């Protein structure tokens, strides 16, 4: 258990509203990631962070922003939700020795945008 929680676990929202998802870790690992999972697309990286206030874009970052003001929390914000952002969102952390570094995942947030 890598001590990762996500909140909320389920959310229904309307098109055009802002939504913030929270990822919390208990072990002060440096690297954190946000993915979305959709049928036929597998896992796609949205944004990642390599430290407090240090973030970078992944492959599907349009329409999303992130913030990391504390080591333990990594927030994903949908500025103005669209139906195409209906998905399951997973947070992950990574740690380990060079070469053996491994990602560990949270339980996911199911988001439905109506």
Partner 1 sequence: GDSVTQMEGPVTLSEEAFLTINCTYTATGYPSLFWYVQYPGEGLQLLLKATKADDKGSNKGFEATYRKETTSFHLEKGSVQVSDSAVYFCALRDNAGNNRKLIWGLGTSLAVNP
Point out which residues bind partner 1 (CB under 8 A).
31, 33, 40-43, 45, 48, 50, 58, 90, 92, 94, 98-108
Q: Shortest distance, CB of residue 86 to partner 1, whole angstroms?
A: 17
| Residues paired with residue 1 on neighbouring β-strands, in sequence order | none
* Residues sharing a CB contact under 8 Å with residue 100, sequence separation 6 or more, in sequence order: none
Q: Shortest distance, CB of residue 59 to partner 1, whole angstroms?
A: 9
**What distance in Å separates the CA atoms of residue 74 and residue 8, rounded to the nearest whole number?**
13
Cis peptide before 20 (omega within 30 of 0): no
Q: Shortest distance, CB of residue 77 to partner 1, whole angstroms?
A: 21
Closest to partner 1 by CB, 33 vs 74, is: 33
């Amino acid at each position: 258990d890598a001590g990762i929680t996500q909140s909320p676990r389920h959310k229904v929202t309307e098109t055009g509203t802002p939504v913030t998802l929270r990822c919390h870790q208990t072990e002060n690992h440096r690297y954190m990631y946000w993915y979305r999972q959709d049928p036929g697309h597998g896992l796609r990286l949205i944004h990642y962070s390599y430290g407090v206030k240090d973030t970078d874009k992944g492959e599907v970052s349009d329409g999303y922003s992130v913030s990391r003001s504390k080591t333990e929390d990594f927030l994903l914000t949908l500025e103005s939700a669209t139906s195409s952002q209906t998905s399951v969102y997973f947070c992950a952390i990574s740690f380990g020795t060079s070469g053996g570094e491994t990602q560990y995942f949270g339980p996911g947030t199911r988001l439905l945008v109506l």
